[in-house]
Structure 1
Amino acid sequence: MSLCHSRLKPLLPTLVLSALLLASPAWAATVTSCDRQLTVEQPPQRAVSHDITLTAMLLDLGLRERMVGYSGISGWKTVEPGMQAQLDGLPELAARYPSLENLLAAGADFFFAGWNYGMRIGGEVTPASLERFGIPVYELSESCAHVMPGRVASLDDVYNDLRNLGRIFAVEARAEVLVQGMQARVAAVGARLGEQPTRPRVFVYDSGEDVPFSAGRLGMPQPLIEAAGGRNVMDGVAANWMKVGWETVVEQDPELILIVDYGERTAAQKRDFLLQHPALQGVTAIRDRRFVVLSYLAVTPSLDNAAAIETLAAALHPEAFAQ
């Protein structure tokens, strides 16, 4: 072997590897976001999330260091101390809805939001408007009912969102661990419940005094109540979150009222209001004083949905969970 060949021999593996890398296709992740295909050319490094629900998903996936901000929390929600500790040092770009200017000023390279979760149809911030600035948007699956009429929310939405975010950020293994952990908890509840002869009627009370704000069959509370062995009394309404009349609540006669704990009024204040409402005095849940209080995070798509199902199931079917 010549001296020239002997010197080249140690370099051959490096040259071959470099050639393979140059010849291989660039990294890209393609996922389904509502009614469109979204392709992200590289894992985001400057992500922004909207709402406590979506922000929690990114934090649960271990992506805090790849975020440059969040929006839509302090204007409506109260953050638990554990989550607040993770958010410390991360700027809130807008207390309520972010503007296009907010996202551009932060140098965002990805926006995780949803319809009525940071984006409004015809608004300033949408997947189409951000695409012009090279900012891809992944839409929260539950919110797709606003652009895909009749779409029903399910627990699969949470699993799919976590897996899709795992692909987008190249943390698939972490996402799968979270999904399987949540699925195991939900399955355990189902095993405890078995075949229940009845499904107690549940009314979701979010807020509102003159007119209550509740959840129809297209929103996340629907599958949570079903998995807990109950029936959402507003399952006849093809809506996500919506206003209903007190007379409808009375007609449906819920056996348990689920109070969503967030907003200016405390859960205790909401409960006292319901107990004192003249029109509700004949409602079974009011007579029996049967309430379950869950956080906003627990009733919107999140890992906390598993705990919500556990809590609801134990309240609806205590005999199945008695020690």
Structure 2
Amino acid sequence: MKKILLVLLAVLLLSGCTPQIETPIKEEIENSDSYYPVTITTYNFAKEPIEVTFDKAPEKVFAVYQNSIETLLALGLEDYIVAAAGLDQDVKPEYQDGFNKINYLTEFTPDKETVLMSQPDLILSWYSYFSEKNLGDVDFFHERNINTYIMQNSGAAAKQSLENEYTDILNLGKIFNVQEKAEEIVAQMKTKVETISSEAKKMDNSPRVLVMEFEKEGVRVYGENTLGGDMVKQLGAELVTANENKMSNEEFIQSNPEVIFTVYFGSSSSIADADAAIDKVVNDPRYQSLSAVQNNRVYAISLGEMYCSGTRTLDGILRLANGIYPEMDFE
């Protein structure tokens, strides 16, 4: 059999016919005529659920912001990205080869003309991108046969949650008919959460955890309606909350959390940014009475790991778990 195949290949080459070798992902997508149409629920700018139907897999995706780009790369869909923009930090190392193949724009938030010139059949982005000051509502594009998908935790869904992150990944798997890969990514996250929460239940006490960032006046709290807060709760810890997710400095001191995660906006790999965020808590004379400060339990977490985090959700889960339960190893 091997000799027959070699002979056939030689004949093809001699005749000037070069066999086309497709990647497994591309083959799966292009050989899926019987799968479509598929209808997905997403949102408009009024935060109303809407249904979008795909008659085939999108071929020219315009992807804006970190998790939009990285989720597509994680699903092996770099060949279908016509343009991308809006990275807060470098893509994860495991996606670098795929990222090198795409057209990444220097403009952080491309305008409507740039998007239309790319002739996309799908725009994948955050809720804010479809405001009037940016691209306008999704109807403008739907009228031009350009589908849209808004990541739920970017502001579209009423409540941020881990489940929303799972759903976005699974929905993109359905849109491109790569469900198996999407389910694999989500299963890894769910398994890690279940493992950590199971171990946490064996503990005598659940630590009180505050996820916060400093504002001009007081502290912003990542409460139950945020992704960061939902992560903490699902990992089995007690979440410190606040009315309207805000605390004064006095209320911050009175809350006296056992563990503090202070959110920063730099790269998740930047030790300098993380250290600066921690220093802002531990070096402030006002906060020296806090249990978390006295016991060296103040940690930093990048916004990109716990806000509309896509595949970085797993990084956020591990970051939180290792701070909440330092005596355990969840890597």
- Report the TM-score when normalising by structure 2: 0.75
Distance change in 2, residues 1:25/1:236 (3 Å): same
**Identity across the alignment (%):** 22
Q: CA 1:293/1:156 → structure 2, altered by over 3 Å: closer, same or farther?
A: same
Count of aligned residue pairs for this structure pair? 288
The one-letter amino acid paired with 1:292 is: Y
Secondary structure of the corresponding residue to residue 266 of structure 1: helix
Could you list the per-position Cα deviations for residues 3-31 of structure 1 after superposition, in whole angstroms to 9, with x for gaps in the alignment?
xxxxxxxxxxxxxxxxxxxxx98932101
Relative distance call for 1:102 and 1:198 in structure 2 (3 A) is farther
**In structure 1, distance between residues paired with 2:311 and 2:168:** 11
CA distances 1:258-290 after superposition (whole Å, capped 9, x unpaired): 133533971111211222223322222222221
Task: Give me the whole-angstrom Cα distance separating, in 2, the residues matched to 1:181 and 1:81.
Answer: 18
Q: Does 1:87 align with 2:94?
A: no
Separation of aligned partners in 1, 2:102 and 2:236: 39
1:129 shift after superposition: 2.7
1:193 and 1:320 in contact (8 A); partners too? no
Q: Secondary structure of the residue that 2:173 maps to in structure 1? A: helix
Aligned partners of 2:54, 2:38: CA distance in 1, in Å? 5
Q: Which residue of 21, 36, 53 maps to 1:27? A: 36
Aligned to 1:255: 258
| Cα separation, partners in 2 of 1:245 and 1:50, compared to 1, 3 Å | farther
Q: Does 1:204 align with 2:215?
A: no
| Structure 1 residues 312 and 302: CA distance shift in structure 2, 3 A | same
Asked if the contact 1:207/1:270 (under 8 Å) is kept, the reply is: no
**Per-residue deviation, 1:213:** 4.5
Tell me: CA distance 1:244–1:62, structure 2 relative to 1, closer, same or farther (3 Å): farther
**How big is the shift at 1:115?**
1.8
- 2:138 alignment counterpart: 127
- Report the AA paired with residue 133 of structure 1: R
One-letter amino acid of the counterpart of residue 285, structure 1:
A
Post-superposition offset of 1:196: 3.9
* Distance (whole Å) between structure 1 residues aligned to residue 312 and residue 160 of structure 2: 16
* Secondary structure in 2 matching 1:49: strand
Aligned counterpart in structure 2 of residue 274 of structure 1, from 278, 281, 284: 281
Contact (CA 8 Å) 1:229, 1:317: kept in 2 or not? no
Using a 3 Å threshold, how does the CA distance of structure 1 residues 121 and 219 change in structure 2: closer, same or farther?
farther
Which of 109, 124, 143 is the equivalent residue of 1:97?
109
* Match of residue 140 from structure 1: 151
- After TM superposition, list the pairs within 5 Å mapping 1:1-323 onto structure 2: 27-34=36-43, 35-73=49-87, 76-93=88-105, 95-116=107-128, 118-120=129-131, 123-143=134-154, 146-147=155-156, 151-206=158-213, 208=215, 210-234=217-241, 236-237=243-244, 244-263=247-266, 266-300=273-307, 301-319=309-327, 321=329
Give, in whole Å, the separation in 2 of the partners of 1:128 and 1:195.
Answer: 51
Q: 1:172 to 1:72 in 2, by over 3 A?
A: same
Amino acid at match of 2:160: A
Give the Cα separation in 2 of the matches to 1:159 and 1:82: 20
In the alignment, which residue of structure 2 is the partner of 1:19?
Answer: none
The farther-off stretch of 102-111 and 270-279 is 270-279
Q: Distance in 1 between matches of 2:283 and 2:116?
A: 48
Query: In 2 relative to 1, CA 106–206 (structure 1 residues): closer, same or farther, beyond 3 Å?
Result: farther
Q: After superposition, what is the alpha-carbon deviation per residue over 1:174-218, rounded to whole angstroms, capped at 9, x for unaligned?
A: 212222222222222122222544332222244646554442322
Unaligned ranges ≥5, structure 1:
1-23
- 2-structure distance, mates of 1:169, 1:80: 22
Do 1:260 and 1:295's aligned partners in 2 also have CA atoms closer than 8 Å?
yes
TM-score, normalisation: structure 1: 0.77
The residue matched to 1:183 in structure 2 has which SS?
Answer: helix
CA RMSD of aligned residues (A): 2.9
